[in-house]
Structure 1
Amino acid sequence: MSEACKSAQPLGLSTGPLPESVDDEEGQTGKCEAEQCLIILLHAYLNQASSLKSVADEIAKHWPNAAICCPELGASVLSLNDPNAIVCDLLSMVDECVDQANQADKPITSIIIVGHSMGGLIGRKLYVAACGETPDAPFEEIYHQAGEVNAQGLLAARTWAPLVKRIVLLAGMNRGWQISHHLSLVHAVGWRLGTVAGYATKLMTGRWPLIFKLRRGAEFITHLRIQWLQLRRLATEPDRLGNLPAGNALTVQLLGSRDDVVSPEDNVDLVAGYDFVYLDVPHSGHADVIRLQDPHYGRGRAKVLMQALGLPADALRSLAATPADDQFLTSNDTIKNVVFVIHGIRDQGFWTHKIARRVKHLAGDSACEWATETSSYGYFPMLPFLLPWYRRSKVEWLMDQYTEALARYPKARFSYVGHSNGTYLVAKALELYPCCRFTNVVFAGSVVRVGYDWTNLLGANPPRVTKVLNFIATSDWVVAFFPKFFQFLRLQDLGSAGHDGFRTSAHSGSFFQVRYVKGGHAAAITEDEWDSIAKFVLTGEVDTQRLPNAVHRKNAFIDLLGRMPPLVWGGIGLVMYLIWEGIELLIHTSVIDPETRGLVTGLALSSYLLTLWLVVTRL
């Protein structure tokens, strides 16, 4: 047996049949589904394998012949581990356990994965990776480094994947975590301080702490949700011989009655968890749901756990808790196309609804097959936009919306219209999330760097993006002076594609640029351009020479200043300095006695700095 299994103890592989059923005075708790049963226990963040000792002891008491593996996941508060690397190690561990059991002529015939909090996410990803890659939800690169590829060029399923009969989640954080009003005061303060420490760690090491990779919308979470959705859909489609592929293991989630760490909408994920069986655990929170030795409530928790592990599916569903109606997300197979219309900075996004309506209007008879997504991430002032971690949080927001749309419209192709920061969101998403795909993409007032790699996205097989239309404005001083400043200094990942255009070798039949549309930062989203945008979304075609307000030259003054954006920033700094000098001169030439002058100067400086702060954080 592997070292991971040995270290977990508390038992080795079974040597005889498991009992057919287990009864006690509280009623039947069920049975293991096969004679040679391997149970994998995965602990929570900040915990160790020993935290699941009471769980392991309870299972061993009922199923004395089961093999129980409880590996250390390396999830300390300072951990910089990659959750995908943890999953790869677990895959190797299970491979070894199964091989050793086969060599001992005692093959494993049933596997159950049990995960607490973070361990539930790791356990589900372990199952997804074991079941093999699906065409519409490719795996991250780390899995390709050690896995075997099948005839379709996809990572093949593990031989033991069909043996996974059940996955049990204890206080799962299925959508990741976020700071919300559901947190207790102590936890809210702790998470806030932890967030600051996480940003500092990223700044110093260039790597995110493990817990940040489990945040709502983060790559690991989004990939897992999308891969899980695709896996479950394919698991219902039999092959030519009528056999169902791996991927239909029963998933049971135990919900603490007073979880004050993970909010209900993050705990119950009815996007990827629509087919879970949910069981309430009385008198339990996020941490103590695994404390089965508690003298007051441990017995009730143990009973629910053993029911989740052993009762037949039908019996479990008769006991299941039904989530609130507003948590359900219904699927609509009639929608064939979805268009995201996402606004930029210093913008509430009211125009997005109008472009969305124009798309449906021009769709004509097929309008019923179109859906629009115009959600807003809120008002985004200039200073937060210039901070990479704030922009990253909006990318995670977008991918959370993307995943929900994928669940709501399973047969739809997605297109995208973005303005300003909305262009950055989708460009970054395409970089970070291999599962992210769009058909027709429109950029207006783009703040993406000019060297963005469209060629690989357009040339992928299948294409990650089918066609792109980028509007370049004549007088977009916002892009020319601010994002271009960071591109000029080669800092961050902002750029001036809305002012200079993209430099790309992408084929002209799939990549279009409008040089130029007359106006400033919002030139391409004015009402005159709505029809052109809508038609491109619908057809992927555009005549860049015959668009409203199309001209052939940029504003010479903006273009000149845009060639040296540091000069503009220096000019802004000089103006700010001169304004303060003017204020000081006014104070010193006014009729104020010397003793009062110092106080007035201090108040004036405070007011001046406060005004500047409000300008960059509110406007």
Structure 2
Amino acid sequence: MVSITSLATWVKVALILGVLFIALLVTLHLLASSQKTKVDLEHSEGHKRLVVLVHGLTGLEDFKPAVHLAREALPKSDLLIFDFDSGVFSNTSPYAIANSIEKEINKAHIRYDYEEIILVGHSMGGMLLRKAIVWGNGLEDDRHDFGLRGERAWVQKVSRFVSLATINRGWSIDPRPKNMSTATYLSIWLGERLARLSQSAQLLLALQRGAPFVADARVQWIELCRGEFPTPKHVPQTIHLLGDKDDIVSKEDSMDLKAAKDTLFVTLENTGHRDIGTALNGGTTPADQERREAVKHALQGKIELLDTDKLVGQDEDHSIERIVYVMHGIRDYGEWTDQLRTVIEQKAAATQVGLAVVNQKYGHFPMLPFLLFWDRQKNVRLFMDEYTENRAKYPQAVKFDYVGHSNGTYILASALYKYKTLKVERVYLAGSVVPKHFKWQELADSGRVKYVANVVAAGDWVVAIFPRFFEQIADWIEVQPSDGPLDIGSGGFRGFQDASDAKKRIENFQFASGAHSAGVDASDEGKLEAIARFVVSGDTSGFTLFRNQSGPEGWLAFLSNVSWLVWLALGALLFGIGLLAFSASPWVGGGYVLILLGLLNSV
């Protein structure tokens, strides 16, 4: 047995390490900044052309070679240069930056009545400009916090958008980009986790692949290019230049840009992500000269002098008019989604409906990551990135339906709350971990959801105890969050309160015999048939089979009411075993901790 003194020493070491780690997080948080965007308008009398320049992550100073090249390539032009807080620790909102960009362009155009406007953006700067373009065209689903402005006159004057390695799809290291070094990958991997814990670098996190700012901008861009509007919208010609050694962006990341048919892609040799917006002084190598000349020609609009890429098809499928998403949940590899997909496709073929089923899988998702907000959000971003890719791939798809189980239900609810461009029609939820108070009626009233069928299982102990605990905490502090650590709940065991909707747009089908997977039991062909009929034709008559029990299991209803006590008991048990393990030996205790973490990340 280990002495009390030895155990106390280990506790002290753990406490010191914990304090040091907390100090690191506090330091990172204090380093985070949120400065106001600065703007510099270089105007000369008689100039009728405006060039707007927006830098990337490395800041305006690093972007100055591009500014100098713009002055040289486009003489007799006014320059509108933006300088926003782009530091690694920046907490500046990309929405606030984009709002400043759009307003300042509008202000300059009103004052000087420009005949032509050229937009130039590098990396994240290009993404900010894309948001300004869609907002300027009146597609402002996500601009409510800054006030809606409607369509602006300046967008009609934009002749071209020069995109210098714009992160059109956002950045991601999953999977690791092919040109990214191991050192860069590891630094980003560690930095992302520290940023989330310290609430710093929120600007960079907001530009991740699938994040709301990025995904909504991509959908808005697609709608701008393909939508039918009462008055014509203006989509500027986009010239997207990308280096062959870019370690952040790939050509495949810009599928939505192709929605504008006159978009041009140019690949530059021996050019990295940073080089394309900063190494433009001419240099000494042929690659340096080529890079400078290519960017200069793009600025001038001399398309005939650009060595543009030949696009091999655009992978568009015009036969699909409806897309059905089928999303699995926790502790599940999603095999049932393959079976349901087959049944849906068979029914769609019989009715000659142009329908595609997307049963996206994100692997085994254990209980512990599910209980952590950041890990839950990763799958939301994954879904929304897939959604934007599908919007680009299927130009005729205007209707979207959703079948979700467990964490799959959370993915949709969180996406609807955070992403303002997402709209779905028929929704089927089973084993729902969405809070019972989720505002489905508001979404239905705004036209973003048409109908929700929620199957409530009488014996769903997973929902009744684990997510229910988070809902109870929210009840205790009198909040009803739709975002954040407490944004899960017991909708799959207690039903949704909004099912009181007089228009019957939200319905609880309760109670179904069985546990967490009762609503997606692939061994029951009748259930798969009922779900398939619903998503293909809207027929809910088959859902009567989910009302085959009068109420929830009594013992489970009781435990759900005291879910906090169940959590407390489990915590006390695990803590007690840990004390016994450490009292035997620090090695035994360490082994217990590793085994416990392994189990929680496996079951």
Point out which structure has higher relative CO (alpha carbons under 8 A, 6+ apart). 2
* 2:204 maps to 1:201: no
Q: Which moved more, 1:71-80 or 1:357-366?
A: 357-366
Q: In 1, Cα distance between the equivalents of 2:41 and 2:184?
A: 30
TM superposition shift of 1:293: 1.6
Q: In 2, Cα distance between the equivalents of 1:260 and 1:364?
A: 43
Q: Assess, with a 3 A threshold, how the Cα gap between structure 1 residues 363 and 265 changes in structure 2: closer, same or farther.
A: closer
* 2:491 maps to 1:497: yes
Query: Given the alignment, which residue of 138, 141, 145 partners 1:138?
Result: 141
Match for residue 447 of structure 1?
A: 433
Query: Given the alignment, which residue of 30, 33, 40 partners 1:7?
Result: 40
Match for residue 306 of structure 1?
A: 296
Match for residue 76 of structure 1?
A: 87
Unaligned runs of 5+ in 2: 1-35, 475-484
TM superposition shift of 1:238: 8.9
Cα RMSD, aligned residues only: 2.6
Match for residue 122 of structure 2?
A: 116
Match for residue 221 of structure 2?
A: 228
Q: Show CA shifts across 1:549-577 (max 9, x none).
A: 72112111111111100111122234435
Q: Show CA shifts across 1:48-88 (max 9, x none).
A: 2x333222222322332111121212222222111121121
Moved segments of 4+, more than 4 Å? 3-6, 267-275, 577-584
Match for residue 32 of structure 1?
A: none
Match for residue 358 of structure 2?
A: 373
Query: Given the alignment, which residue of 547, 550, 563 partners 1:552?
Result: 550
Q: What TM-score do you get using the length of structure 2 for normalisation?
A: 0.85
Q: In 1, Cα distance between the equivalents of 2:505 and 2:74?
A: 60
CA contact under 8 A between 1:5 and 1:68: conserved in structure 2?
Answer: no
TM superposition shift of 1:427: 0.2
Q: Which moved more, 1:572-581 or 1:379-388?
A: 572-581
Q: Which moved more, 1:257-266 or 1:344-353?
A: 257-266
Match for residue 410 of structure 2?
A: 424
Q: Show CA shifts across 1:499-522 (max 9, x none).
A: 111111323532221111111100
Q: How does 1:380-395 map to 2 (within 5 A)?
A: 380-395=365-380
Q: In 1, Cα distance between the equivalents of 2:462 and 2:234?
A: 49
TM superposition shift of 1:208: 6.6
Q: In 2, Cα distance between the equivalents of 1:511 and 1:238?
A: 31
CA contact under 8 A between 2:73 and 2:299: conserved in structure 1?
Answer: no
Q: Secondary structure at the match of 1:410?
A: coil
* 2:516 maps to 1:521: yes
Match for residue 167 of structure 2?
A: 173
TM superposition shift of 1:539: 3.0
TM superposition shift of 1:359: 1.8
Match for residue 349 of structure 1?
A: 334
* 2:64 maps to 1:53: yes
Match for residue 464 of structure 1?
A: 448
Q: Show CA shifts across 1:530-558 (max 9, x none).
A: 12212222233424873167211211111
Match for residue 54 of structure 2?
A: 42
Q: Rg: which structure is higher? A: 1
TM superposition shift of 1:224: 0.6
Q: Assess, with a 3 A threshold, how the Cα gap between structure 1 residues 582 and 122 changes in structure 2: closer, same or farther.
A: closer
Q: Assess, with a 3 A threshold, how the Cα gap between structure 1 residues 81 and 554 changes in structure 2: closer, same or farther.
A: same
Query: Given the alignment, which residue of 553, 559, 562 partners 1:561?
Result: 559
CA contact under 8 A between 1:14 and 1:67: conserved in structure 2?
Answer: no
Q: In 2, Cα distance between the equivalents of 1:271 and 1:95?
A: 26
Q: In 2, Cα distance between the equivalents of 1:247 and 1:335?
A: 26
Match for residue 319 of structure 2?
A: 334
Query: Given the alignment, which residue of 486, 504, 508 partners 1:509?
Result: 504
Match for residue 601 of structure 2?
A: 617
TM superposition shift of 1:406: 1.6
What is the number of residues matched between the two proteins?
A: 547
Unaligned runs of 5+ in 1: 17-35, 102-106, 148-154, 585-597
Q: Secondary structure at the match of 1:44?
A: coil
Q: Which moved more, 1:330-339 or 1:111-120?
A: 330-339
CA contact under 8 A between 1:4 and 1:70: conserved in structure 2?
Answer: no
Q: Assess, with a 3 A threshold, how the Cα gap between structure 1 residues 378 and 415 changes in structure 2: closer, same or farther.
A: same
Q: Show CA shifts across 1:118-148 (max 9, x none).
A: 1111111111111222xxx8343135x151x
CA contact under 8 A between 2:37 and 2:85: conserved in structure 1?
Answer: no
Match for residue 239 of structure 2?
A: 252
Q: In 2, Cα distance between the equivalents of 1:383 and 1:444?
A: 20
Match for residue 183 of structure 2?
A: 186
TM superposition shift of 1:189: 2.6
Q: Secondary structure at the match of 1:71?
A: strand
Match for residue 66 of structure 1?
A: 77
Q: Secondary structure at the match of 1:169?
A: strand
Q: Assess, with a 3 A threshold, how the Cα gap between structure 1 residues 114 and 364 changes in structure 2: closer, same or farther.
A: closer
CA contact under 8 A between 2:41 and 2:80: conserved in structure 1?
Answer: yes
Q: Secondary structure at the match of 1:178?
A: coil
Q: Secondary structure at the match of 1:122?
A: helix
